[in-house]
Amino acid sequence: MKENSQLGDEQYQVKINKKMAKPILISLAAVVLVVLSFLSGVQYQKGHQATLPNGVASMGSYYGRRGGFNGQRPTTGAVTAVSATNISINDQVSGTAKTYVITSATTITTNGQAATTNDIAVGDTAVVIASSTDATQASRIVINPGSSSAAPSATSN
C-alpha cells in the first residue's frame, strides 16, 4: 500500500509540474517578445535620426548646451509678419503669436546660408532663438529649418 501512496505522490508532482509549465512558457514568451520589441525599436531609431538644418554639425551646436539656446526655448512656427526690425511667429507649441525685435546682431540663415529679412516670407516656418539678455529680441532666426531644397538657379537669356 505504501508503494501506491508513493506512486500517487509522484503522479501528483507530475500534474503540478504540467500545470506550472504552461504559465511559465507564456511568461517566457512574453519576456522574449518584449526584448525583441525593444531591440527592434532601437534599430528603428538608429535609422531615423533627427534632421538638422544644412550647415549645422550637431544637435549640441544647434541647440547649445545645458538647456538649449542660452536657457531659452526656441520658438518654432509660421511667420505671420516680418519687417526689417520685427518678426512675428505663431508658436506651434503654445498657439500664441510672438513678436521679436530684429537687430544688427541677429543672425538669419536659410538652408545653412546667411540670409536677410528680405528672404523671410509670411507663411515660412522659422525657428527664433531669443537673446539671453532680452527675451523679446531675436538672437538667431533659422528660416525653413530642415529644408534641403537648394535655391533656384538664375537663368540667363
> Domain coordinates of the chain in residue numbers?
1-49, 59-143
Domain 59-143 part of CATH 2.40.50.320: yes
Reported as a single tens digit per residue, the pLDDT across 95-152 is: 899 999 999 999 999 988 899 999 999 999 999 999 888 889 999 999 988 765 444 3
> Residue 48, CB half-sphere, CA atoms under 13 Å: how many?
6
Beta partners for 118? Answer: none
Nearest-angstrom CA–CA distance, 91 and 134: 18
From residue 49, how far is each of 35, 44, 52, 61, 62 by CA, in Å? Answer: 22, 9, 9, 16, 14
Is pTM, for the whole model, over 0.85?
Answer: no
